[in-house]
Chains A and B, each alone.
Chain A
Amino acid sequence: MKKYLVLMMAVLGVAFTSTAQEKKSKNAKVDVEVKGNCDMCKKRIEKAAFGVKGVKSAEWHADDQMLHLIIDENNTSSKKVQESVAKAGHDTKEVKATTDNYDNLHGCCKYERES
């Protein structure tokens, strides 16, 4: 049992160090699901994404409901972008907008929320 524990810790340790050493990409391509409807949504979503330092490119497409990002992982993360987008009123895969922020959206941007 003890042996296994040591082994497990060793494996974990290797795993940890290897992630810690994995170089953070300056141009990481990240796609995030973001809810929205129209041209106005697109402008708002992209504006929120560009508001996050480290976002180099942000393009949202209504047809696949995806925000295509290129980010500098040294400065930001997908989560941070999602927080900013959610704050603007748009639900993302990991972060949901508050009811207040959603209610503030223009009529045509009131996408259907997953309950």
Chain B
Amino acid sequence: MLLCAFGVHNIYAQDTYKGKVLDTYNSSIEKANITVNDSVVATTDKFGMFEVTLNEPSAVYIYAEGYEVLEVELTDKDRFYTFQIQPEASLNELVVNVNKKNTERNKGITNSQTMNSGELLKAACCNLAESFETNPSIDVNFSDAISGSKQIKMLGLTSPYILIAEENIPSVRGASQAYGLSFTPGTWVESIQVTKGAGSVVNGFESISGQINTELIKPGNDIPFFLNLYGSTDSRFELNAHFNEKISDKWSTSLFVHGNTRVKKNDMNHDGFLDNPLGSQVNVMNRWQYQNLEKGWIAFITARYMKDEKQTGEIDFDKDQHKLTTLKWGSELNTDKFDASTKVGYVFPDQPYKSFGWQNSFSYHKQNSYFGLNQFDITQRSIYSNFLYSSIISNTLHKFSTGASFMHDDYSEFIANYGNKNFDRTDTSYGAFFEYTYDNTDNLALILGGRIDNSNRLGTFVTPRMHVRYNPWEKTTLRASAGRGKRLANIFAENQYLFASNRQFNILNEGGKAYGMDPEIAWNYGLSVTQDFTFLGKNASLTLDFYRTDFQNQIVVDLDQSARSVNFYNLDGKSFANSFQAELSYNIIKHLNLRTAYKYYDIETTYSNKTLERPLQAKHRVFANLEYTTHENNGSYWKFDATWNWLGAQRLPYTGDNSIENQLASYTNPFSTINAQVTKVFSDNFEVYVGGENIGNYQQHRVILGADNPFGNEFDSTIIYGPIFGQMYYAGLRFKIK
């Protein structure tokens, strides 16, 4: 027989006390610990129920993460006790998914994690790209000196292979692929779901290594006013202000305003070039929410506008005098973005398992830029529409979702470095999907999904995806997934950082539909096992993941034939990415949590008949995050957070045809970085934080090759494997009116 949820029963003549633990909304609290004399004697199950066997009636403490400790006496063995515990004051209102853990491994069928706003506050700053620094499933690269923005990788693959969506509408794609994550301020975000491996078919066919979905703060749950100010020693300043108004019991609206700027020129490594760009961003969003729970309707209308400007290059570059000349090397990157979207959802009031949803969005993205003499302009207009209907087959053990989607992208693109050519194009695709979910409510659940799409450049094709979750024993979860993804590579937009070099761009294929090349197609397979256990009376969880991505076709970005060129071509040979991750999270003592991971990446591609490791990718990585919260006293407490990252050697691209002083070793040295933050919460309304990034002050030794002759053959500022700026310290405040 399976173990009971409460653990093994004691056979001695002791008394057993039963009860349940609820929050202030009478929802049951899972994993609340019942302790006697500092040892955990019971933990509540997912219905908040506990059973404790004691030698004699005694006082016990009830504690769940995110809640106040409650001291109670258990004296009456015949009584069924009900205890209500209070949320820790500062966490209750803003965080909508009652804050138990900042990052929670989902109980669902896919290998997913949800990062809530508590986790997002741990990162130094300030936009989506930077918010993954405390998450081991996603690797954040070091920002390059041109854009100053950080790129992310999942399973060792760069962001074009990840489907990045905002409220389930694909958002970071096409023209915004490279810098799109820096266009969403972190304070706007309510939570982020990170799914490893093949994702759901509902959001499209493009995802290969994983899916990231960001949920923004909903006007219905928002607080009346929020203000965040931030400043750092690399002279970046940010302002976030949120305003919310509940207009009626059905309508509410939020206005989010974000501005950031960097005004001072930084050159910590004295190479004559800025370490991070000067720039500014204005980002404004207005959302409206309609909600009628009795009738089952919910709707959102969202509009936003963003303007982002960056300038970098040589320290005395003056854009008015030196733009597109060889007097000084400089770069400007200016982006305008406008988005509008609507979402309507309906749940049948008498059948809560039956619903439909319809999303529509329009986006306009215009980037004008130059990198030295390399001019690059891209404009994208997109329309996206997705209709989803969910219901059951005979009962809720068998659910399905089905629907149809439409996507239209209109690009105009100009590349000076490729024969002053225009690559204007239009992509239109429409498709239908069906996803079946079986859950026996006990130990087995699976999702089988498929979609069929037709696109003017991809043809008609099928995308199958599959996920299974199986619990062989109480605390063990096995997951498996497999799926196919297909996409068109936007080679220039995705690799535009390479324009900041004097590499010649070459496309070696002809006749294909994407810049003469073929679509990228890959299969992804994954296996994962999670074991929950208690060690020395505290909860711990160990997860082992293995994923493999197999490319049938890939657009190979080849930097290894010559330091003077970058070649793009269809894969001829093999390309795969194997990734293994072991992740341990452990609640060391009350309020002190450790999350640590070891990651192994084996990513290889055939580059012109030679199979090599993917450049700028560490084979071994170690991650550790420690968070500590002091006990709350009248709404006031401290939070401490530290993250340590160790990166093993990374292969560097070939530089052997440069003159000797501009040649690099074939591998980098391993190094590590430490980020840390301290937050003092004074009350529900006010908190202050200070922190440091790269506290060990590790700096990449050589950032720019040929810096003394930026218009010469050997100039290359794109080989970034470590921090450029060195250590950076920051401080900020958050003020809320609830």
Which A positions have Cβ atoms within 8 angstroms of B? 27, 29, 37-40, 42-43, 46-47, 50, 55-58, 61-63, 70, 106-109
Contacts and interface: CB of A to CB of B under 8 A. Distances in A.
A106 B1 contact: yes
A37 to B, nearest CB: 7
B351 interface: yes
Contacts of A50: 395, 397, 441
Name the prevailing secondary structure of the A interface residues: mixed
A29 B350 contact: yes
Given A56-B353, A62-B48, A106-B4, 14 more contacts: A29-B350, A38-B45, A39-B45, A39-B49, A40-B2, A40-B4, A42-B47, A56-B392, A56-B394, A57-B352, A70-B351, A70-B353, A108-B9, A108-B51
Given A50-B397, A56-B395, A43 B442 contact: yes
B46 interface: yes
Interface stretch (B20-28, B193-201, B510-518): B20-28
A58 B6 CA distance: 24
A39 B396 contact: no
Nearest to B18: A37
Given A38-B4, A38-B6, A43-B441, A61 B395 contact: no
A46 B397 CA distance: 10
Q: Select the residue from A47, A58, A63 with max chain B CB neighbours within 10 A.
A: A63
B47 A107 contact: no
B508 interface: no
Contacts of B51: 37-38, 108
B49 A38 contact: yes
A39 B28 contact: no
A56 to B, nearest CB: 5
A50 B26 CA distance: 27
B416 interface: no
Contacts of B46: 39
Interface string B322-357: 000000000000000000000000000011110000
B474 to A, nearest CB: 9
B70 interface: no
A5 B539 CA distance: 73
Interface in B36-87: 45-49, 51
A78 B47 CA distance: 24
Contacts, number: 72
Closest CB pairs A-B (n = 8): A108-B4, A39-B5, A62-B47, A39-B45, A57-B396, A38-B5, A27-B350, A43-B442
A55 B49 contact: no
A78 B494 CA distance: 59
Contacts of A38: 4-6, 45, 47, 49, 51
A43 B395 CA distance: 15
Interface residues of B, number: 29
Given A42-B47, A43-B441, A47-B441, A108 B28 contact: no
B47 A39 contact: yes
Contacts of B395: 50, 55-58
Name the prevailing secondary structure of the B interface residues: loop
A63 B47 contact: yes
A43 B51 CA distance: 18
Contacts of B442: 43, 47
A65 B567 CA distance: 67
A44 B93 CA distance: 36
A50 B51 CA distance: 28
B22 A63 contact: yes
Contacts of A107: 4, 9
Nearest to A46: B441
Contacts of B392: 56-57
Contacts of A40: 2, 4-5
A95 B657 CA distance: 86
Contacts of A42: 47
Q: Select the residue from A40, A62, A70, A108 with max chain B CB neighbours within 10 A.
A: A108
A58 B396 contact: yes
Given A47-B441, A56-B395, A62 B9 contact: no
Contacts of B18: 37
20 contacts: A37-B18, A37-B49, A38-B47, A39-B47, A39-B49, A40-B4, A43-B442, A46-B441, A47-B441, A56-B353, A57-B352, A57-B353, A61-B47, A62-B47, A62-B48, A63-B26, A70-B350, A70-B351, A108-B4, A108-B5
A50 B440 CA distance: 10
A11 to B, nearest CB: 31
Contacts of A29: 350
Contacts of B352: 57, 70
B20 A62 contact: yes
A27 B5 contact: no
Given A47-B441, A56-B396, A108-B9, A62 B4 contact: no
A83 to B, nearest CB: 17
A46 B439 CA distance: 12
A40 B442 CA distance: 9
